Amino acid sequence: MTIRTLRDHGQHYRPRMACLNKAEALVVEMQDQKNGVKASEQKLNVTTIPHVMSGQDILAWIANHMKVDTQEAQVIGTMLVAYGYIYPLQDHKKLVLKPDGSLYRFQTPYFWPKQKWKPEDTDYAIYLAKRNIRKKGALDVYEQEEYNKLHKWMNHKWDFIVMQAKEQYKAGKERKKADRVVLDCQERAYWIVNRPPPRTHSALDYGIDRLIDPNADEVKKKTLDYYRRIIIFTQQAIMRSRVKSSVSLGAIVKYVTTFKNHDPFLAPCLPSNPWQTDDDTYWELNMRNVEVPTKMRVERWSFSFFELLSDPRGRADFKVFLKKEFSGENLAFWEAAEEMKWGTAASMSEKAENIFKTFLAPGAPRWINIDGRTMGLTVKGLEHPHRYVLDAAQTHIFMLMKKDTFYRYLKSPVYKDIQKKAISPAPHNFSDAQLEQNAKNRKPGIDPIIIWQQEEEEKAKAAAAAGPIDIKKLMQNKLDRK
């Protein structure tokens, strides 16, 4: 019993090689006595074997019958030879149709390629054993290798293979000599097509377990250019910065330990998950511009400066702190740079102008303190502004704030105040009746457009307040009162 794994992956229903049926029809038509290919006889010492054709006859017939030109006929003919419908008598390992007088013969239908009849290894082993008998042990190198391989892993069937090979050999001897020759040639041609010798490939190579990757480059000439590119690529790969896994894993562990209480999957949502209880207290408490933030939120601000800045409530708090310290220009510049990064392309040059006037020009009202090199780069870049022209300066300012202002903020009374004020909502415990009540009382939240409008108003107010203080006007008022 051979374990028959159905490895054709359903291809027997949807044959990929649909061309085989057409090729068969063509070959049958070639057999016609009147209109088919002219056949002559092959004379070998004492025997004559009929039904042999020359390459050019086949070519002429194909060109005539299918009404194509010689080149196309050549291709079709080579295809027929490559699939094994016609086999060459001389130079039997090269499966091409030569347009000269070289001889070809038709293959018997038993040995025609059919997708559902996969050439089995058992049959191949029997063939090799027969060939071994005939050639008295002098097989080709690749055949000998295959023989040894098959002997090794088909060992349990080896008795059968030997017996069957001997019997087939003896049965073959019962036929007349010419037929024996033809039989030999046929079988050999079949196995050259289906088990191609090394450095050739079979036209029947298809499907998932094919030997040749059709997407690989055909004959890639390894020129100097190719090698140069490979060298550059590997050099750059070496230069890439690497982090030891101990370091990166340590960072992951640190991150997880800090954030594990804040993770929405690992920690429960306080007071209650609005999706489950239909009670939107959670969302109300965590809005962008809420007066009193939750304790979790405030704790999160202390983790890193980035967290503080990304939370709008945190940023607002930080702004309040900076106003007290009279060092708001750093944050203002950072926000302006963010706006430039995320803003529209049309407003880019205008924004660049404003930023330069407000922050970077010498003697500007809100001059930021960055080192000379970065300043030089930024000013030069602002001549042809693009989205990321302020990137270097922004990073510098960010690091400044982080290393200096952030820690002062964390120790400041502003932060401590807000920490005390922060609320820690108790988890809800709704009964079923209450849940139903909640579901009935669902109402839509504030329209995000309204929120955005509110924010814009606030920004405008802040911008006006942050503008250069017009001393004259101020004094004017005071003078007037007098």
Partner 1 sequence: MGKDECKTMLDALNKVTACYRHLVIALGSTSDSQNLREELKKTRKKAQELAVANRTKLTALLKDKTISKDDRAEYERLWVLFSSSMEILEVDMRRSLEIGQDFPLKVPTRHLIQTGMTGSTTTVAARAMSVQNMKYEADASIDTADLKDLETEIAQVDQMMEEMEMKVQVAPWAVEAKQEAGAELKSTVSVGNSSVGVISICEEEPKEAAEGEGDVMRVFAGVIFTAVLLIAGILGYLVINLS
Looking at residues 166 to 195 of the shown chain, list those that interact with partner 1 (rule: CB under 8 A). Answer: 166-186, 188
Interaction between residue 395 and partner 1 (CB under 8 A)? no
Pick between residue 164 and residue 302 the one whose CB is nearest to partner 1. 164
Chain position carrying tokens 């054993």: 129
Helix H or strand E segment including 49? strand 47-54
Sign for the pseudo-dihedral over CA of 177, 183, 188, 193: positive
Pick between residue 145 and residue 353 the one whose CB is nearest to partner 1. 145
By rule CB under 8 A, what count of residues binds partner 1? Answer: 71
Interface stretch with partner 1, choices 22-30, 221-229, 317-325, 385-393 (CB under 8 A): 22-30
Q: Which of 440, 352, 354, 338 is nearest to 391 (CA)?
A: 338
Task: Give the one residue of 148, 289, 347, 437 binding partner 1; rule: CB under 8 A.
Answer: 148
Contact 445, 280 (CB under 8 A): yes
What is the CB-side half-sphere exposure of residue 403 using CA atoms within 13 A? 5
Angle formed by the axes of helices 55-66 and 19-30, to 10°? Answer: 110
Hey, which residues between 75 and 104 contact partner 1 (CB under 8 A)? 90
Shortest Cβ distance from residue 16 to partner 1 (Å)? Answer: 19
Number of other CB atoms surrounding residue 406 within 10 Å: 21
Q: How far apart are CA 183 and CA 180, in angstroms?
A: 5
Task: Give the one residue of 133, 270, 375, 435 binding partner 1; rule: CB under 8 A.
Answer: 133
Interaction between residue 119 and partner 1 (CB under 8 A)? no
Interface stretch with partner 1, choices 129-137, 205-213, 437-445, 463-471 (CB under 8 A): 129-137
Interaction between residue 13 and partner 1 (CB under 8 A)? no
Q: Which long-range contacts (CB under 8 A, 24 or more apart) does 359-362 make?
A: 359/329, 359/332, 359/333, 360/393
Shortest Cβ distance from residue 170 to partner 1 (Å)? Answer: 8
Interaction between residue 44 and partner 1 (CB under 8 A)? yes
* Pairing assessment for the beta strands 103-106 and 86-88 based on DSSP bridges: antiparallel
Task: Give the one residue of 23, 27, 76, 80 binding partner 1; rule: CB under 8 A.
Answer: 27
Pick between residue 185 and residue 290 the one whose CB is nearest to partner 1. 185
CA angle, residues 371, 376, 381, in degrees to nearest 5: 130
Task: Give the one residue of 65, 157, 195, 319 binding partner 1; rule: CB under 8 A.
Answer: 157
Interaction between residue 107 and partner 1 (CB under 8 A)? yes
Q: Which amino acid is at 19?
A: C
